[in-house]
Homo-oligomer: A and B are copies of this chain.
């Protein structure tokens, strides 16, 4: 089978936003989604010559997008190398079990290797046991000793 994974195009923005919202629903975080098509388009496909803030690949079934992975490059000072950070990965429930999630992940691992990344990282919710088990089976390590701190919204504005 040829890979069903392809880079996202500007015309995919509406479906990417729908998939982001579906992922947030699954993560019980719907209230946190304030993204809109205009900002998403500008982030992924800036028309002012600036670099994209993030990149997106799409999984198609019969020519229709049913899953996506969105990533950016982070940086490790300890390695002095870039890393690939997978921000979101989602496949519509009715299209699961076909290996699309695995294909998206593998596509990005290959890209990370090609780009000289020392590592690939992503975050998982601590109650999402199926995902935790799957990631472990790939050889990924959970960095349990590290906790992410976030200064956001009003707290950030006030502090600054």
Contact = CB atoms under 8 A, between A and B. Distances in A.
Interface of A: 20, 23-24, 29, 32-36, 39-40, 43, 51, 53-54, 70, 72-82, 85, 87-88, 106, 109-110, 112-113, 117-127, 135, 138-153, 155-160
A118 B152 contact: yes
- Grouping DSSP codes into helix (H, G, I), strand (E, B) and loop, the A interface class, with mixed when no group exceeds half, is mixed
A138 B159 contact: yes
A75 B53 contact: yes
Nearest to A158: B139
B72 A75 contact: yes
- Ordered nearest first, which 4 A-B pairs have the shortest CB separation? A35-B80, A139-B155, A119-B152, A39-B80
Given A20-B77, A53-B73, A119 B87 contact: no
A146 B143 contact: no
A143 B150 CA distance: 7
Given A109-B159, A139-B158, A39 B81 contact: yes
Contacts of A160: 106, 109-110, 112-113
A9 B148 CA distance: 29
